[in-house]
Copies of this chain bind each other. A is one copy, B any other.
């Protein structure tokens, strides 16, 4: 399928799909005229990518994640690369930190609005 069809199937913009290729998350084949040609398995793959992006992962982490999954050199998903596991943990900590920071902001804003 071509890019617009994959875009419609996944609900992801064509620009985003091209961006995912730039980041190494997708490697579609090319037709004779240079058009990107996707497989049906790319639909699943894009869904996975969207899930991870919505979890806060950056494209580089996603790429390593997908590579780790594809090569399967670490068995199950639970046995991830140590550095990948460490990155996920550090991301969790950063999310917690940002959450606490947001709570602080929110309370400070309340104090500003009420006490002026």
- List the interface of chain A (C-beta within 8 A of B): 51-52, 54-57, 76-78, 80, 85, 88-89, 91-92, 95-96, 98-99, 102-106, 108-116
Contacts and interface: CB of A to CB of B under 8 A. Distances in A.
Chain copies in complex: 2
20 contacts: A54-B105, A54-B108, A55-B105, A55-B109, A55-B111, A56-B106, A57-B109, A57-B112, A78-B114, A80-B116, A88-B112, A88-B113, A92-B106, A92-B109, A92-B110, A92-B113, A95-B102, A95-B106, A95-B109, A98-B102
B55 A116 contact: no
Given A54-B105, A99-B102, 15 more contacts: A51-B112, A54-B104, A54-B108, A55-B112, A56-B105, A56-B108, A57-B112, A76-B116, A77-B115, A78-B114, A80-B116, A85-B113, A91-B109, A92-B109, A95-B109
